[in-house]
Structure 1
Amino acid sequence: MSKLVTIFGGSGFVGRYVARRMAKEGWRVRVATRVPDECLFVRTYGEVGQVEPVACNIRDETSVAAAVQDADAVINCVGILAETRKNSFGAVQVDGAERVARLSAEAGVSSMVQISAIGADAGSDSEYSRTKAEGEAAVLRHMPNAVILRPSIIFGPEDEFFNRFAKMSRFGPVLSIIGADTKFQPVYVDDVARAAASAAMGEVEPGIYELGGPDVATFRELMEQMLEIIRRKKLINNVSFGMARMMAGAFGLVEKISFGLVDAPLTVDQVKNLARDNVVSEGARGFEDIGIRPVAMSAILPEYLWRFRPSGQYEVLTESGKNLHT
């Protein structure tokens, strides 16, 4: 019988690509997700019965124990960018990661992969970055041979970065961003999935790997590239960190007053992270050590950002028509 991998968050942005990769390699895939009925699409990633979603909440001991039972490998893709109700940074990124690792060790799982993030730092003033590091440490306490993957900002058809700002660019002449000079090293989601799959199959040495694409660019440069792809001309406005913190504080107050019914579009913790470069550290192990050549943004972004062009898929035809008239 083929081997079994349990993927926590396997129906999410990164997780679904990991699930598809593992299925392609012939593994049976168990997708641990809170609402299986909303994730039936994962079944199409493999043969009939090869990929199955199961009910699991990373904050619940019993469901996590059931999800790792009989698994040969475990991949934890669960993470949050902002806290919502019971899903706090500590509960998800520390306690949740520790629970997965501990119960995996008890179940005799042979390998584990933890998806973390560049910037994970136990001494950081950002709760997101601090809990990412604490989660890594918790995993390694129980699964010392685990592979920790720290990607930079991840892009792909379902991303919440380029899609979000491309959508914002549809309205008004100005596109406002925070931290225009902050550097990023965007990485393609399927490259991260390839790394996770290789690690789960025992093809990667245990340890921490920082994953960044071939391009390093400032936030402003990334937005300029995006605007060029979607054929929109906008003035890029850099919001100061001081103003951003005030805005985030106000949004947080509204969220608190509404008892969580209104989610804050920006948090103080996110502003802190936007003030730091998000690139691979000098000397860190990365894609090269895993044997993967990462894909450039220019090869992927036009494939899914075209829908934000003024004329959508017909924009290229419109441009061609103008050239003919000329």
Structure 2
Amino acid sequence: MSAVSSAASAHASTVRLSRALVAVTAVAPRLPYHQLQQRRYHDVAKIPGSSAVYVQKGPGGRSSNSGHVATVLGCTGFLGRYVVNNLGKRGTQVVIPYRGTDDDRRHLKLMGDLGQIVPLRFDIRNEESIRESVRHSDVVYNLIGKDFNTKNFTLDQVHVDHAAAIARICREEGVQRLIHVSAMNVDENSPSDFLRTKALGEKAVKAEFPDVTIVRPGTMYGTEDRLLNRLGWFVKWLPGGIPIMNSGKTRIRPAYVGDVAHILAKLENDDRAVGKIVELYGPKEYFYSNLVEFFLDVTRREQMAVHLPKFVGKAIAATINLAMPTPIISPDEVERLYIDDKPTPGALTFADFNVKPFSLEEQIIRFAALYRSQEYQRAPYDAIVRKYTTDQVPHNKI
């Protein structure tokens, strides 16, 4: 009797399992493919303009592989870390050449899954080192740049000579796409050495790699910037007042560094920008004096604005920097405070990539709150926003 019961029970279990399999089979086709085969999902695509292919694996995100390999030169800089993060989110394998200590790049390892972020020691003066950094990549980002001369490199070496060498080696190694980051307001005849060498660098890179995409960001702000943090340094260490150049009439269009990095990551496989210029500046324009006033209002500070002639500002900058390991403001940056941000007609912008950039009003509290005194750490922000942009403040009112 027990044997009969066992047989009947086994038969009933088999029937239930069969019905369950039928139900799963009926439902399965209606489920998204990536939910059924996340680990096995893959796609093979040909790289445009080449006989090479890349293999895409996974449903997307950091734990996937987009098939692209990107090299980010200048990855440990202000903009570089945000570019690496955005590429990592797309599943791109990122080669991060670096110099200095391991501490300079270890935060980048967290921006991709295991094996996706590949650190590589690098010397810009060694061509073989450059080749090793780019030979496996189908896209290379050159973010290398400095705001001032250092004891190791001049602005001409960094922005012209080394940029041209990188472009030439990328062409020789068969890199499909080169994205060169320059700066807004570049001009070969600029009184600013930074803007002059950036312009010469664009010309040299274009000669070596004609299809290069040149990206010109405006003045960027963020956690590690040299805009809001410099104003914060003035607030903390110059109680006599904040220095203002050009009577505060210089026009500036600050851009959030995260928005710039987002566009740079999109350029990885966007053909619209090949061989073109992309200018990335903020949606609102400010007179520099009103930008300083904005910062003081947000930080609840009451410092005065001290208007200085150019030669005095340069002399003070040079003197202060003699005692500083890293310049707070260089004489060349003082020169740039006399140059307005002027968009280039015909250049691609955020709008061409369907991206609406953040305005300074939306983001400033994240970075300026650090410089509030203790009693104002939790003070409201919305109540102090006034009129600061050039559209709202007449030129004769500054």
Which residue, out of 90, 97, 100, partners 1:32? 97
Other structure's SS at 2:289 match: helix
**Superposed, which structure 2 residues align to 1:284-299 within 5 Å?**
284-299=347-362
**Superposed, which structure 2 residues align to 1:236-255 within 5 Å?**
236-248=305-317
Partner Cα distance (1:292, 1:285) in 2: 12
Which residue, out of 233, 252, 267, partners 1:199? 267
The residue number in structure 2 matching 1:177 is 244
Larger deviation: 211-220 or 274-283? 274-283
Change (3 A) 1:9 1:249: closer
Change (3 A) 1:63 1:13: same
Which residue, out of 192, 202, 212, partners 1:126? 192
How far apart are residue 289 of structure 1 and its match? 2.0
**Superposed, which structure 2 residues align to 1:211-290 within 5 Å?**
211-248=280-317, 265-290=328-353
8 Å contact kept, 1:15–1:77: yes
Change (3 A) 1:101 1:274: same
How far apart are residue 304 of structure 1 and its match? 2.3
**Superposed, which structure 2 residues align to 1:1-326 within 5 Å?**
1=55, 2-35=67-100, 37-38=102-103, 39-171=105-237, 172-179=239-246, 180-206=248-274, 207-248=276-317, 265-311=328-374, 314-316=377-379
8 Å contact kept, 2:241–2:306: yes
Please give the TM-score of this superposition, normalised by the length of structure 2: 0.73
Change (3 A) 1:203 1:313: farther
Partner Cα distance (2:122, 2:264) in 1: 21
Partner Cα distance (2:223, 2:130) in 1: 29
Partner Cα distance (1:290, 1:133) in 2: 24
After superposition, what is the alpha-carbon deviation per residue over 1:65-110, rounded to whole angstroms, capped at 9, x for unaligned? 1100111100011110000012101111111111111111111100
How far apart are residue 264 of structure 1 and its match? 5.5
After superposition, what is the alpha-carbon deviation per residue over 1:221-253, rounded to whole angstroms, capped at 9, x for unaligned? 11111111111111111212132244356568x
Displacement over 6 Å in runs of 4+: none
Other structure's SS at 2:272 match: coil
Output the aligned Cα RMSD.
2.3
Please give the TM-score of this superposition, normalised by the length of structure 1: 0.89
Code of the aligned partner of 2:87: M
Code of the aligned partner of 2:251: K
Change (3 A) 1:245 1:290: same
How far apart are residue 262 of structure 1 and its match? 6.3
Higher RCO (Cα < 8 Å, 6 or more apart)? 1
Partner Cα distance (1:157, 1:209) in 2: 24
Unmatched segments (≥5 aa) in structure 1: 256-260, 321-326
How far apart are residue 263 of structure 1 and its match? 6.0
How far apart are residue 61 of structure 1 and its match? 1.3
Partner Cα distance (2:361, 2:191) in 1: 34
State the aligned residue count.
Answer: 313
Change (3 A) 1:314 1:162: closer
Change (3 A) 1:293 1:63: same
Other structure's SS at 1:243 match: helix
